[in-house]
Chains A and B, each alone.
Chain A
Amino acid sequence: EAGVTQFPSHSVIEKGQTVTLRCDPISGHDNLYWYRRVMGKEIKFLLHFVKESKQDESGMPNNRFLAERTGGTYSTLKVQPAELEDSGVYFCASSQGTRSGNTIYFGEGSWLTVV
């Protein structure tokens, strides 16, 4: 069974440009999450989808970030325009249910560098 896959694995863009990160969750997982780790800091929650609906987007840093999950399958996270402080690793994760005992599976991350 394929795990959570993310694309691109690495991206280097200039300040002011746009980047779109993609996440394909594990098949059948209704829950999809985005997290971010800025260098040297904690991994921080960004938002949570249940199917195509945003359940919780309290962690989104500002309106330069836009997440979508059309059709409840894959998700995209767009940063427009990118700023230097957006550099970091963006992790996507998915889970089957919402009970506390369910395991959340993470992808390998998309490493974003804004120069």
Chain B
Amino acid sequence: GNSVTQMEGPVTLSEEAFLTINCTYTATGYPSLFWYVQYPGEGLQLLLKATKADDKGSNKGFEATYRKETTSFHLEKGSVQVSDSAVYFCALLNSGGYQKVTFGIGTKLQVIP
């Protein structure tokens, strides 16, 4: 079956530090990959996505590249801000069939001033 593995955290960084949250996946076929973010007290928001190998998703300074050879979709940001403090979920959606998103466990990020 499908699975997503990501670091559990929490991750604590100082403002302007570089962020990497690792994500690897197991899936058949060619899934689409996503990062969702949940800010404190809010719902899940789509942060970025990539639908095929070597695609790079980007949004709000965050980037992730779909690496089929390493089955990875690591999230990066060059300079984090306090407002980036949230829980980040890596997810996949398998190609074909009906949509059922498989999520990772979520990584809590805390950015301190």
Contacts and interface: CB of A to CB of B under 8 A. Distances in A.
Interface stretch (B15-23, B67-75, B76-84, B99-107): B99-107
A106 B45 contact: yes
A109 interface: yes
Given A91-B44, A108-B42, A108-B43, A102 B99 contact: yes
Interface residues of A, number: 29
A contact face: mostly helix, strand, loop, or mixed? strand
Interface string A99-111: 0111111111100
Top 3 A-B pairs, shortest CB-CB distance: A108-B43, A106-B44, A43-B103
Interface of A: 6, 31, 33, 35, 37, 40-45, 48, 50, 55-56, 91, 93, 95, 98, 100-109
